[in-house]
């Protein structure tokens, strides 16, 4: 088995050419509206950049003021192609993208290897796009970091939260949850459903159902952990593919959220 996970969706979800990719990501980041926040965790979408890139960039742009402090990224996303039980590590030493190589955090891997819900599956990671499409954004914003990537399959929110707790760390550790929202609803229906899903996240209500967010399990796990660690969620951006590059007939929803280490939390009814 190779010790390097090579890109699976370069040239499909984002440009395979390094210079073009760097230009595109920097342009998306430059267009992102400013938010004066210090995130401990982010939720970002994972479609092709033409569709969800502007929304993802809104999340990653919030990292610029704290980028120098972030040394480790814990990245969770749903599995789309291979069914796994629990949370799967890739069993490799590094992930490659057109922008370069990201080393995995070997110490962090060892720190969760004993948990029963943590498995190893190179197959779950080999073709999975939900984690891969986040990497060029991270490489474009952060300076020097290691990665702890987990492909989340059949698991409970509590099992996900237990892994997050074990990896929580301090300001050097950023948590990123990769998730889109509703899939293939008409534009107006998607807006209604996605607004309610986002309100559940803002109110730290879980579980988030998979037909409302394909990353519902890792999002729900983050909500459990956020309650425990008293994080406050903030909505940064909420759009769908009909707003960015697609038709209004069938759309996919995208949201960017940041979770900060603050005590105050407002509750609203959807």
* Concatenated DSSP letters of 42-60: EEE--S-HHHHHHHHHHHH
Mean pLDDT of 59-77: 98
Largest CA distance in the chain: 50
Whole-prediction pTM: 0.96
**Interatomic CA distance for residues 150 and 78, integer angstroms:** 9
The overall average pLDDT reported for the chain is 96
What are the chain's domains? Answer: 38-260 (3.40.830.10)
DSSP 64: G
Closest CA to 211 of 195, 228, 230, 194: 194
Number of Cβ within 10 Å of residue 156's Cβ equals 15
Burial of 255 (0-12, 13-18, 19+ CB in 10 A): buried
Give the sheet arrangement for strand 4-5, strand by strand: 4-5, 94-97, 100-103
H/E stretch holding 73: strand 72-78
Residue 213 and residue 256 in contact, taking contact as beta carbons nearer than 8 Å: no
Residue 234 has pLDDT above 80, yes or no: yes
Residue 116 has pLDDT above 60, yes or no: yes
| pLDDT tens, residue by residue, 146-187 | 999 999 999 999 999 999 999 999 999 999 999 999 999 999
The confidence score (pLDDT) of residue 263 equals 54
The confidence score (pLDDT) of residue 262 equals 73
The confidence score (pLDDT) of residue 264 equals 47
């Amino acid at each position: 088995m190779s010790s390097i996970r090579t890109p699976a969706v370069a040239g499909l979800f984002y440009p395979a050419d390094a210079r073009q990719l760097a230009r595109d990501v920097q342009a998306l980041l430059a267009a992102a509206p400013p938010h004066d926040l210090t995130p401990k965790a982010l939720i970002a979408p994972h479609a092709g950049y033409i569709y969800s890139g502007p929304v993802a960039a809104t999340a990653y742009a919030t990292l610029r003021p704290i980028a120098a402090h972030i040394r480790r990224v814990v990245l969770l996303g749903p599995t789309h192609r291979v069914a796994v039980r629990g949370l799967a590590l890739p069993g490799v030493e590094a992930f490659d993208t057109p922008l370069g190589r990201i080393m995995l955090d070997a110490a962090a891997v060892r720190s969760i290897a004993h948990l029963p819900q943590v498995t190893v599956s190179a197959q779950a990671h080999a073709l999975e796009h939900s984690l891969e499409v986040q990497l060029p954004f991270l490489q474009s914003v952060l300076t020097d970091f290691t990665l702890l990537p987990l492909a989340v399959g059949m698991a409970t929110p509590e099992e996900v939260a237990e892994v997050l707790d074990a990896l929580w760390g301090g300001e050097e550790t950023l948590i990123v949850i990769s998730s889109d929202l509703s899939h293939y609803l008409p534009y107006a229906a998607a807006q209604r459903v996605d607004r309610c899903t986002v309100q559940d996240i803002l109110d730290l209500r879980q579980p988030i159902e998979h037909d409302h967010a394909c990353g519902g399990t890792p999002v729900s796990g983050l909500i459990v952990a956020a309650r425990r660690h008293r994080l406050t969620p903030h909505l940064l951006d909420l759009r769908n593919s009909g707003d960015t590059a697609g038709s209004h007939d069938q759309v996919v929803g995208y949201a960017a959220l940041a979770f900060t280490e603050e005590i105050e939390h407002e509750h609203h009814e959807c």
